[in-house]
Structure 1
Amino acid sequence: MKVSDWGVTNVDYQTVQYCFPDNNLSCTKNIRPGVEYIIVYVFISVISVFTVFLNLLVIVSISHFKQLHTPTNVLILSLAVADLIAGLILMPVQGMTLIEPCWYFGEIFCSIFPLILYVVVIASLGNMIIISVDRFIAVNDPLRYPLKVNTNKAVVSIVVNWLFSFLYSFYLLYDFLLHPERNHTCIGECVLVVTLENLIIDTLVCLVAPCCIIIPLYMKICFVAKRQAKHLNSVTEKKAKSEKKAARSLGIVVLVYLLFWMPYYIATLSFGHDENDALIINVMNWLVCMNSCMNPLIYAMFYQWFRLSAKYILTLKIFEPSSEYFNLFPEEK
């Protein structure tokens, strides 16, 4: 509710109040039942802590154990860093907007938060594209994969990805970053208005283009995997099976990400700008962030190395001498 709506109708002062009672320019808000606040805040807190915990396990695992220092795992590490930031910052703030209409974090964070949101989400999407390309090369040419892809190239691709994410986000939000208060009608409001032109550009860059890259790549991966199954010899079979297993599991990561990502763009393109539509978009936005807790769960389902490394971390065995050389692939002995 806007300040101008205050007192237009019979208002129950037990359910509506100012965001900042001492300021006459303050926005107003509807007061929800206490149990509703408790349920939402507990849910947000649990999901956020769970996301941070799981992604810290991924980051520590890949950083600590030498066997995991591979190009693919470096890409997974970059994705986990983005997911960690989402759990620490994006999910709590986005979750609060679902139930708390007032902005209590100040003008500076109001201008910075959308930039963090865009950078992290776009960097995650970029990671998905790079992972798809990496898996395509690995499955299409498993024997020469180590010659074509190495850790240094993976690091360079990650740096380029994060740099592009920042520059692209800065371009989209440039006017908002300069004048974050322009669309505010009262104190306690943080509103980001995206022009139709920028929305179309963002949809093309962050939805259409990635789908046009990722979907054909994984269709090609499936085709190559079936073709290889008929022509593999005993020397290449083990390597190819390993790469295909990694491609399948990471393909699920990519698919889940797109399933969480698409509803947001459908919502932003389909709905208007009234209060109810803004709530729907906020929910879709939070679902995109919530995807950050899904990736480690997928790793746990498909990767024995993640289950073993998590066990070593949680039992504090990583503090033992030479723990970085623990064998995480016992089946290869």
Structure 2
Amino acid sequence: MDNTDHRQNITVQYCFPDNNSSCRKELHTPTNLLILSLAAVDLLVGLIGMPLSIMKFIDSCWYLGKLGCCILSVINALVVSASLCNLVFIAVERYIAVTDPLLYSTRITVCKMSMMIILGWSFCLLFAIMYFYFNDNLLPSQISTRCYGECVVSVKFSWVIVDLVVFFLAPCSVILVLYSIIFNVARRQARTVRAVKNGASMKHGAKLSSASETKAAKTLSIVVFVYLACWIPFFINSLSVESVTSKSIVWTVFAWLLSINSSVNPLIYAIFLSMVQKIS
């Protein structure tokens, strides 16, 4: 084995290293791990969150008891917050990839990204548990209902403010700022590529780069618009009352927007990442 093959084996792994005809292992990239984590959130929303919420919405009676009500509340909070956490990670990962591509492979590795995803999910689970515990909705003994067969979640206004800061204002600021920088840097890179072209190649390259910029701008606009459109109504409604309760039809509809946002995120971000990678 020569030096070239040895260097390749550092980054390429084989199913059977001792066999020259061995197949290569398909390795995950940090970006793929983020999309996988986002897709896992979507799967939980589709398999657990939405069916139970539909059952609760269509039939006002709750047949799974107080424990089932507690579990559903925690799961819904977990998947929505985990989805948002993944969006922040994607923004940070793309920011590093576009602004510092030479050091990207050392700063963002599969191991580091895996740890970040695990920590993100753990933080969201811990926050969901604290959120419902301090709002007296975590344990079956804490839930007070008017009659047997009711599943109602009430949230104190103080925790609405905490939720607003932790899971809207802070991540929204990070996402908007980083995506603005990403697009500006990608646009400068595209202009640099056009500048080194000449003659017919320059004109052809300019058309391709302009098209890529336009597509990236449209995709980025869709990403930001969908994110804001799904989250802003929920928090506006939450801030308009002193205590939020799931008995409100308006609250239910806006809460469903968050679930819909989680459902469409994998598709939107798969398109967005491919566009950013092309233009950068």
Coarse TM-score class (shorter-chain normalised): 0.7 to 0.9
Q: Could you say which residue in structure 1 is the equivalent of 2:61?
A: 102
Q: Could you say which residue in structure 1 is the equivalent of 2:125?
A: 166
User: Aligned partners of 2:244, 2:172: CA distance in 1, in Å?
Assistant: 30
Residue 251 of structure 1 and its aligned partner are, at CA, apart by: 7.2
Deviates more, 1:78-87 or 1:285-294: 285-294
User: Aligned partners of 1:205, 1:275: CA distance in 2, in Å?
Assistant: 20
Residue 292 of structure 1 and its aligned partner are, at CA, apart by: 3.3
SS at match of 1:110: helix
| TM-score when normalising by structure 2 | 0.73
Would the aligned equivalents of 1:94 and 1:285 in 2 still touch at CA under 8 Å?
no
Q: Could you say which residue in structure 2 is the equivalent of 1:136?
A: 95
Would the aligned equivalents of 1:94 and 1:282 in 2 still touch at CA under 8 Å?
no
SS at match of 2:138: helix
Deviates more, 1:283-292 or 1:120-129: 283-292
- Summarize deviations over 1:217-270 as a string: whole Å, max 9, x none: 111112212222233468xx9xxx8x9888985774454233222222122222
User: Aligned partners of 1:248, 1:145: CA distance in 2, in Å?
Assistant: 26
Residue 150 of structure 1 and its aligned partner are, at CA, apart by: 1.3
Would the aligned equivalents of 1:87 and 1:292 in 2 still touch at CA under 8 Å?
no
| Aligned equivalent of 2:261, options 271, 275, 291 | 291
Q: Could you say which residue in structure 2 is the equivalent of 1:259?
A: 229
SS at match of 1:69: coil
Q: Could you say which residue in structure 2 is the equivalent of 1:270?
A: 240
Q: Could you say which residue in structure 1 is the equivalent of 2:47?
A: 88
Q: Could you say which residue in structure 2 is the equivalent of 1:214?
A: 175
| Aligned equivalent of 2:81, options 117, 122, 125 | 122
Residue ranges of structure 2 left out of the alignment (5+ in a row): 1-23, 198-204, 275-280
User: Aligned partners of 1:134, 1:192: CA distance in 2, in Å?
Assistant: 35
Aligned length: 235
SS at match of 1:194: strand
1:271–1:140: structure 2 CA closer, same or farther, 3 Å change rule?
same
1:275–1:296: structure 2 CA closer, same or farther, 3 Å change rule?
closer
What is the percentage of aligned positions where both structures have the same residue? 44
| Aligned equivalent of 1:200, options 161, 164, 169 | 161
Would the aligned equivalents of 1:133 and 1:217 in 2 still touch at CA under 8 Å?
yes
Residue 130 of structure 1 and its aligned partner are, at CA, apart by: 0.3
Q: Could you say which residue in structure 2 is the equivalent of 1:323?
A: none
1:252–1:211: structure 2 CA closer, same or farther, 3 Å change rule?
same
User: Aligned partners of 1:186, 1:92: CA distance in 2, in Å?
Assistant: 23
- Structure 1 residue 72 corresponds to structure 2 residue 31: yes
User: Aligned partners of 2:247, 2:75: CA distance in 1, in Å?
Assistant: 23
Runs of at least 4 residues off by over 6 Å: 243-248, 272-277
User: Aligned partners of 1:181, 1:83: CA distance in 2, in Å?
Assistant: 29
Residue 293 of structure 1 and its aligned partner are, at CA, apart by: 3.2
CA RMSD, Structure 1 to Structure 2 (Å) = 3.2
User: Aligned partners of 1:94, 1:181: CA distance in 2, in Å?
Assistant: 21
Residue 291 of structure 1 and its aligned partner are, at CA, apart by: 2.4
| TM-score when normalising by structure 1 | 0.62
